[in-house]
Amino acid sequence: MNTKHKIVSSATLKKKILSLRKQGKEIAFTNGCFDILHFGHVSYLEAAKKDSRILIIGLNSDSSVRKLKGPKRPIVSENQRAAVLAALECVDFVTIFNEETPLKVIEAIKPDVLIKGADWKGKDVVGAASVKSHGGKVEFITYVDGLSSTNIIKTISERCAK
């Protein structure tokens, strides 16, 4: 199965969303680096997909990941990360952004639901005000504690150092 059609620019995504909204589809958005895809990511994305909503992932570009995580990251390039995410059945579209936050993408596509991990509850969620201003909501998904790309990379480094 070819999933390249699921990786789109934010401009193309805006056009696709117009059509999907006419069909009555709910648009959900989440974002992240997704550097080394793991069970925590998959369980989170599957939960985010619920019902018949369209799930869009805003993927941090390589330069964006470096700004957030440091010069040794990402481990996996943005094109490869996007392709792996697009191959997941629960993901409808992936769009890559260069900024440190997905605010521009959120403001451009105006999702009905902004999704974050439950570890973000009580924190300032980028784009929340924008989503709520047009009647949308913020939803928190259970976070699989202890699973992260950072922890996996650290474990590999420690094991290789022995």
Q: What is the pLDDT of residues 55-67, one digit of tens each?
A: 999 999 999 999 9
Strand partners, 29: 56, 114
For residue 94, give its domain range. Answer: 4-161
Q: Structural domain tally of the chain?
A: 1
| DSSP conformation letters of 110-162 | --SEEEEEGGGTTS--TTHHHHHHTT-EEEEE---TT--HHHHHHHHHHHHH-
CATH number, residue 133: 3.40.50.620
Each residue's pLDDT tens digit, 115-159: 998 888 888 899 999 999 999 999 999 877 777 777 888 888 888
Each residue's pLDDT tens digit, 37-61: 999 899 999 999 988 899 999 999 9
Q: Residue 109 and residue 20: Cα distance in Å, rounded? A: 12
